[in-house]
């Protein structure tokens, strides 16, 4: 079980550190700030929910199709993170 947890943690770390970087923009400072906090593992539950909403809305925009997988994986990571942070309260 520990081995599996280690592999899952590595997977999520890659998403936080690498894929989230693909979603940075120069037009949305709020989103960029929250993505930075995600990369630094400093995102609160409320911030994770806010970032998830921003990314969900943005992922449906035309012209974002080439980043569809990045959006999907980062949003999925945020869902898991929200669940984990909610349980810790």
Domain ranges for the chain:
2-88
Read off the DSSP letter of residue 40.
T
What is the pTM (predicted TM-score) of this model? 0.87
Residue 4 has pLDDT above 80, yes or no: no
pLDDT tens-digit map of 51-88: 999 999 999 886 777 899 999 999 999 999 999 999 88
Residue 5 tokens, joined = 């947890």
pLDDT at position 3: 77
Residue 39's nearest CA partner among 84, 69, 47, 68 is 47
pLDDT at position 84: 92
Confidence of residue 37 (pLDDT cuts 50, 70, 90): very high
């Amino acid at each position: 079980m520990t081995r599996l947890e280690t592999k899952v943690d590595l997977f999520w770390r890659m998403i936080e550190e690498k894929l989230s970087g693909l979603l940075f923009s120069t037009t949305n400072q709020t989103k960029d700030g929250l993505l930075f906090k995600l990369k630094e593992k400093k995102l609160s539950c409320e911030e994770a929910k806010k970032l998830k909403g921003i990314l969900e809305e943005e992922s449906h925009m035309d012209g974002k199709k080439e980043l569809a997988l990045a959006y999907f994986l980062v949003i999925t990571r945020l869902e898991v993170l929200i669940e984990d942070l909610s349980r810790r309260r």
